[in-house]
Amino acid sequence: MDSTVLKAIDLLEALARAEGSCGVTELAKQLGLTKSNVHRLLKTLESRGFVSRDPEDSRYALALRLWELGSSVIDRLDVKRVAGPHLQQLAERTRETVHLSMLQEGDVVYVDKIDSPEPVRAYSRVGGRAPSYCVATGKALLAYAPEELVQSVARALFPHTASTIRTEPALRRELDAIRARGFAINNGEWRESVWGLAAPIRQAPGRVVAAVGISGPAERLKPRRIKEFTPLVLATASTISAQLGYRAPAEAHARHAATERTTRGASS
């Protein structure tokens, strides 16, 4: 085992047990390490956002980075557990491949999926990744991502197909449209023969933590079918979000109702 890593973990655990901030001498005595060793570890952890130093007394305490990492793990486990039955229902009603995705840096990661029963279907795997700006679940997540992440993605756009978004202005227009209508569409932007539809999943008080979507062959998942399935995907995302503690504002309910009326009219 790497002794430096173990010492850093011991240091973090000591800070977690402490009732307040700790000094270098106190931590060194508690852990049986030299003060120079503890100071060096603390400076490294501080540089990565795991601990913070009070400039007035030079004492250290845990920072929010650990909370962020722990929250992301809890979010992932809770979302997957809650979403499971609803993914199954969506798969049964659409007969297309259903994905539960989360954002990791500039990519989406498929944390759960249900394959279409059709012999020709969209291929993916749990744990697989795709560029967020190319797939429906990725765009649904990117529309609500921090600005610095959007900028990072915009600087690395690559044309995987003729339909891929290629410029930052085009990407931002797409993200604006997704926020306005509440769902994202992939028109063969990652794989020419695969289309998709997705909506964001929220936790209280409204933070987007995942996306649910369907994908399938372009010859089957045509625009008319996209319109037909849009209310189902929105309803699935809404139900999962509600079970995670999110309460949608009245305008969101009105928008979803308008989408259903439009879809019924287009299908009649």
> What pLDDT band is residue 268 in, cutting at 50, 70 and 90?
very low
Q: What is the pLDDT of residue 251?
A: 47
Most confident of 53-57, 115-119, 140-144, 202-206: 140-144
| DSSP code at position 206 | T
Average pLDDT on 136-162 reads 94
Q: Which of 15-24, 101-110, 157-166, 243-252 has the lowest mean pLDDT?
A: 243-252
What's the helix, strand, coil split of the chain in %, to 5?
50, 20, 30
Q: What is the pLDDT of residue 75?
A: 61
Whole-model pTM: value is: 0.66
More confident residue, 235 or 129: 235
Q: What is the pLDDT of residue 121?
A: 65
**Which structural domains are found in the chain, ordered by start?**
3-62 (1.10.10.10), 68-267 (3.30.450.40)
The pair of structure tokens assigned to 108 is 């989406």
> What pLDDT band is residue 74 in, cutting at 50, 70 and 90?
low
Give phi and psi for 42, each to the nearest 5.
-65, -40
> What pLDDT band is residue 267 in, cutting at 50, 70 and 90?
very low
Average pLDDT score over the chain: 87
What are 176-229's pLDDT values in tens digits?
Answer: 999 999 999 999 999 988 999 999 999 887 889 999 999 999 888 889 999 999
Residue 263 pLDDT > 50: no
Average pLDDT on 223-252 reads 88
- The b-or-e profile of 223-232 (16+ CB within 10 A means b, else e) is eebbbebbbb
CA distance 189 to 172: 16
